[in-house]
Structure 1
Amino acid sequence: MTATNEPAQLAEHAAQTLLSRFNLTKIDLALVLGSGWSGASLELGETIGEVELAELPGFAKPVVAGHGGTLRLARTSAGKVAAFFSGRTHYYEGRGVAAVVHGVRTAAAAGADTLVLTNGCGGLNPEWGPGTPVLLRDHINLTAATPLTGATFIDLTQAYSPRLRDLAHQVDPGLPEGVYVQFPGPQYETPAEVRMAKVLGGDLVGMSTTLETIAAREAGLEVLGISLVTNLGAGISPTPLDHSEVIAAGKAAEPRLRGLLAGLLERL
């Protein structure tokens, strides 16, 4: 097939390539595994097959350590076909918004109707220490970007599905909920920016997720967002921020995250 720059056509091409490769007619749900989450997804479901993301049309190898780079298809205990995206393209990579949301659009084109977006983030609430998973109830997009083009008016009143959040609470009743604030990155936020995010109503700060959520809602996907607090935000944390902390916090939280994902897959 001739290469195309049209996002919808490229997503359709990637979806058909994926389905054909594993002899599937559709997938049912997709999970994007952010910083700290990939290890928690291992061995969940019965593996159908696995492919390097860079082998699929429109995808590139993740550039950040700890972000994986594979897509695993598995059949869940509920009999659904789930796509686990271990790795994502971030806005700060400079490849454009279409590349950032290509995985979401590919999942939708492959038939998914449910999307679980996860990330590692900085926490603004001192009570949510590193290793705390937090459900997203809303977001603030500070990238000044959008995956939408033209007069495409998408309602984001319930961008993060109340129904899916209720399911998550059934699995782990102790999950708090918060508002995620996406900064462009790749530099970590300054203490002043963290204070600003808090004044705006934010509870979590990071560099992903909101653009994917917008694209998912445009495609009609029901979205569940879950952040893993990997560190306290700048000015709240007593030590300078370090990416190795992000990876370490994810590793330490794996048992709880695995239980959460396993319980969700039983219900989705």
Structure 2
Amino acid sequence: MNTYDFYKKSADYILDKINYMPEIGLILGSALGSLSEEISDQTIIDYKDIPNFLISTVESHAGKLILGKLREKNVVCMSGRFHYYEGYEFEQLAIPIRVFKLLGVNTVILTNAAGAINKEFKPGDVMIIKDHIKLTGESPVRGKNIPELGPRFFDVSDMYTKSLRDLTKECANELNIDIKEGVYFYATGPQFETPAEIKAMRILGGDTVGMSTVTEAITAAHCSIKVLGLSLVTNMAAGVLEQPVTTEEVDETGEMASEKLKKLIGEIVEKIGNR
């Protein structure tokens, strides 16, 4: 896995099916797969058919790579992603972004469904990720470095690219969408967090919590790919309300808020690189 050719085999298989190189990558989280419907001139590839790729095991994730145009930009979209809780190692979770890099992607938009740690947030809110907290020791870029993809040691102080965050705020304002900004706290799952864990996360500065996105953002930073992270708040985290956290709540809120997120992402994609 720690060779350039390993990832190139995946990228070559995908590029052989299209006649362009995508410039923007999209990775869609739980209950957000309907965003892929906005892509025109679609070429759809099942993950299982891509050499050296992974297979999504989460029911709400389609497990398909979709290539085409969104607002006249060439894009590649993952409808469904991979997680540590599925049994994959952190190093394996670097695969999608490294393949994106070899496809020509220079910007990724990462979306996720997240629980609200911040008590001022509510289900249906969209939060721009300005930073994250990951207290697990593992890294997706652990192991032998591949210099063709990035340096051994790299800066992550602007991992969630400020210019993209600023652009998102402008787009949200134009669309009259209330937007939050905050810190995403990474948890490995698959169990939801305990009330005590959520209290600790709040003390440490977390605003939302989820089980994805961070490994992709770290890998993108290593590959010098710009990152925009968006959390859709689907529920209040454990202990905030006197009720249990359920998968059904996550999916229902995702479906209700997806139209708002579609419009926002479409506007962002249209304006990326145009200024």
TM range (shorter): over 0.9
| Alignment match, 1:86 | 79
Over 3 Å counting, the alpha-carbon distance change for 1:8 and 1:241 in structure 2 is farther
| Alignment match, 2:42 | 48
Where 2:16 maps in the other structure, the secondary structure is helix
User: Structure 1 stretches (4+) deviating beyond 6 angstroms?
Assistant: none
Contact 2:118/2:206 (8 A) holds in 1: no
C-alpha displacement of 1:6: 2.9
C-alpha displacement of 1:200: 0.8
| Alignment match, 2:248 | 244
Where 2:220 maps in the other structure, the secondary structure is helix
Distance in 2 of aligned mates of 1:45 and 1:87: 15
Query: Is 1:35 aligned to residue 30 of structure 2?
Result: yes
Query: Is 1:266 aligned to residue 260 of structure 2?
Result: no
- Given the two structures, how large is their TM-score scaled by the length of structure 2? 0.90
Amino acid at match of 2:124: G
Give the CA RMSD over aligned residues.
1.5
C-alpha displacement of 1:7: 5.4
| Alignment match, 2:61 | 67
Over 3 Å counting, the alpha-carbon distance change for 1:168 and 1:104 in structure 2 is same
| Alignment match, 1:185 | 189
Distance in 2 of aligned mates of 1:157 and 1:60: 29
Distance in 2 of aligned mates of 1:59 and 1:149: 18
Amino acid at match of 1:54: K
Amino acid at match of 2:252: A
Contact 2:91/2:141 (8 A) holds in 1: no
Contact 2:92/2:140 (8 A) holds in 1: no
From 99, 110, 130, give the equivalent of 1:106. 99
Distance in 2 of aligned mates of 1:239 and 1:80: 43
Distance in 2 of aligned mates of 1:228 and 1:143: 23
Contact 1:194/1:234 (8 A) holds in 2: yes
Amino acid at match of 1:36: A
Amino acid at match of 1:234: A
Contact 1:89/1:99 (8 A) holds in 2: no
- Given the two structures, how large is their TM-score scaled by the length of structure 1? 0.93
Identity of aligned residues (%): 35
Runs of 5+ unmatched residues, structure 1? none
- The aligned length equals 261
Runs of 5+ unmatched residues, structure 2? 146-151
| Alignment match, 2:170 | 170
| Alignment match, 1:9 | 5
Distance in 1 of aligned mates of 2:15 and 2:242: 48
Amino acid at match of 1:207: M
After superposition, what is the alpha-carbon deviation per residue over 1:99-146, rounded to whole angstroms, capped at 9, x for unaligned? 212111110111100011111111012332111110000001123210
Distance in 1 of aligned mates of 2:223 and 2:2: 15
Amino acid at match of 1:186: P
After superposition, what is the alpha-carbon deviation per residue over 1:67-114, rounded to whole angstroms, capped at 9, x for unaligned? 22111111232x321011011110112221132121111101111000
Contact 1:7/1:98 (8 A) holds in 2: no
| Alignment match, 2:51 | 57
Over 3 Å counting, the alpha-carbon distance change for 1:199 and 1:54 in structure 2 is same
Contact 2:65/2:79 (8 A) holds in 1: yes
Distance in 1 of aligned mates of 2:3 and 2:241: 40
Contact 1:47/1:72 (8 A) holds in 2: no
Per mean C-alpha deviation after superposition, the further-off stretch among 227-236 and 164-173 is 164-173
Over 3 Å counting, the alpha-carbon distance change for 1:163 and 1:242 in structure 2 is same
C-alpha displacement of 1:236: 0.5
